[in-house]
Amino acid sequence: MKLLIASRSRAKQREIRALFEGTGLELTFPQDLNLPPSPEEERLETGETFEANARAKAEYFARKVFLPTVADDSGLEVFSLGGDPGVRSKRWSGVTGTDAEVDAANNAYLLRRLLGAAPERRRARYRCAVAYLPEPRAVAQIFEGSCTGEILTAPIGDRGFGYDPLFLSDDLGKSFGQATTDEKDQVSHRGRAFAALLRNLTGAP
């Protein structure tokens, strides 16, 4: 089966390709189908929940290409900050630019918000919602995953993307910025959400 993965993030695309490796499912991405970004697409991630944003992206792209479509939305929730940045994780600092510039600005802003905070105020979790539409008129199926950790006082590691160098994983005992792709995939919010999707698609236990 051929699936459209409705993401333009190169870093996220690499992770998702790895998650689907060996499944026999064929992945395609918006750039493979010559789908240019549009103002309408830019307005899709305005929901109040990860599920709403994932659903909106899946529905938009499924109508464009008439392929089974998968979309996800994910982010970091810091408990002492009332769940921020949450659904605004990518745009939290308000900075625009390259992915690397935006990531650096968001990480710097997070460090400022938690400056001097005790370890118990640095508790956080990553969350991910994946929406799957077998065809445009279907009701999206939602699969979710999460993982917990602590926000470090300085970034460690140069792997991953987003807040990964600041997220000390409870499962791994290291930051996601230090983790290999395989290590992260086993325990990450995205890895767990996509694992649930794949069990549904392939019938695997």
Active site residues: 73
> 22-40 burial by CB neighbour count: b if 16+ within 10 A, else e?
eeeeebebbeeeebeeeee
Identify the bridge partners of residue 78 per DSSP, sorted by sequence position: 124
Contact 168, 174 (CB under 8 A): yes
